[in-house]
A and B are shown apart, each in its own frame.
Chain A
């Protein structure tokens, strides 16, 4: 029974990991793009993305999940059938917006002198950004990013509200249907999964920070 429960939880956790991984892969670069848009000198673009970030940060993630999934019906279309896809889209947009603010803070914290030093050495803006600024930004934002990443691990549970996504919390509930155990036990088990995974992430971020310790800003 113990092994069976573990297997069921592990299966759910794989779904959790999948949603977590996909969200990170897409939201990290998208967040940078949004950050650059919110810092644009072209005012309409800046305003548009500022509004988007406001809306996304200003409404519950759960509401956003439902809107992505059922929103198409507002336009006379069918709701999204693939709830996992819907959840991924909602998570990517939501986290990209949060990341964008962290990126912006990081980018704005780099001194003007760094940009100017690059400029007088004949670099163009793209070169200055990628060769000079970016790594310094990464070093600066690693800690707040790790916060968001850890929050994301746990936020993935929200996806099960859409139905059809059996991530680890949903899996824990299903365990009680398979085995006659009180719900609290598989839920505690799920908690252990989260704890271990977040522990691993914490160590990874620690290593990354150490790796960037070779220079100081």
Chain B
């Protein structure tokens, strides 16, 4: 069984059937490139994986576990989805950095909130333990717990800071740590967004046309960072219009047209020997567009 299995995803917006039954699988550490013309359903598929939309039909299995089943309506509530979402990271086409935070603040924010939640959980655990302690020992125990919690909190803080700084150096923006998003170029902003997504250790990192909003001379730096992630064994799904990138970096390529998978295979298969007429036409057009 594969690391990620998507089974027969379907999604409609009103009468518009955007996904008409999409199934694919992905192994751990692999990079999947999704190509296809605009309006074909690529972005919707990514949004469904990240639970920004709910697929109307279909199932999603991660590491053998059912993470989403459209038939199970109870499971699709916002609250239960929130935890599941963390298995996936998403880098948006338009970066969507938080403008009022520095680069560092952007990467730290969600980590801090999760750490807070974790701390709360541990506190509750200790409180439960404390219930079974005889009253004469309670004061002593409380003191101990307080010290442990303080230690834990400090540890959290250090871990977050360390992680954030290492991520920043990984995307090559250590010196921009205290800048605000508006002070950065598009390429730099996108690299921050990648670091921000990585900070939560997603099992699978998704990219929604990460370079489409960038000036041509800035796409290289972002693609380089994504390529660098591949060597560190991240599992990634990249929706892209950069055919060269898909060809060179992806382990597997899916061509989506009109809401279903028209063709899939290794980059060699798709780019050198496309079987489908539609794939051929699409590839021809995308290379022509590049002059």
Which positions in A face B, CB cutoff 8 Å?
111, 113-114, 116-125, 127, 131-132, 135-136, 139, 214-217
| Least CB separation from A113: chain B residue | B96
CB distance from A40 to the nearest CB of B (A): 15
The 6 closest A-B pairs by CB, nearest first: A121-B110, A117-B96, A113-B96, A216-B182, A120-B90, A215-B100
Number of B interface residues at 8 Å Cβ cutoff, please give it. 29
Q: Is the interface of A mostly helix, strand, loop or mixed?
A: helix
| Least CB separation from A216: chain B residue | B182
CB distance from B79 to the nearest CB of A (A): 8
CB distance from A112 to the nearest CB of B (A): 9
| Least CB separation from A114: chain B residue | B96
CB distance from A124 to the nearest CB of B (A): 6
Contacting pair B92 A113 (CB below 8 A): yes
Q: Which chain B positions have C-beta within 8 A of A136?
A: 99-100
Residue B71 at the chain A interface, CB threshold 8 Å: no
Contacting pair A215 B182 (CB below 8 A): yes
| Least CB separation from B109: chain A residue | A131
Q: Which chain B positions have C-beta within 8 A of A125?
A: 78
Within 8 A of A (CB), among B89-126: 89-90, 92, 94, 96-101, 109-110, 113-114
In whole angstroms, how far apart are the Cα atoms of A214 and B265 in the complex? 48
Q: Which chain A positions have C-beta within 8 A of B109?
A: 121, 131
Q: Which chain B positions have C-beta within 8 A of A122?
A: 82-83, 85-86, 110, 113-114, 200
Contacting pair A121 B99 (CB below 8 A): no
CB distance from A129 to the nearest CB of B (A): 13
Q: Which chain A positions have C-beta within 8 A of B180?
A: 214-216
Could you list some 17 contacts between A and B, CB below 8 A?
A111-B96, A113-B92, A114-B96, A116-B96, A118-B98, A120-B88, A120-B90, A121-B110, A122-B83, A122-B85, A123-B113, A124-B78, A125-B78, A131-B109, A131-B113, A215-B101, A216-B182
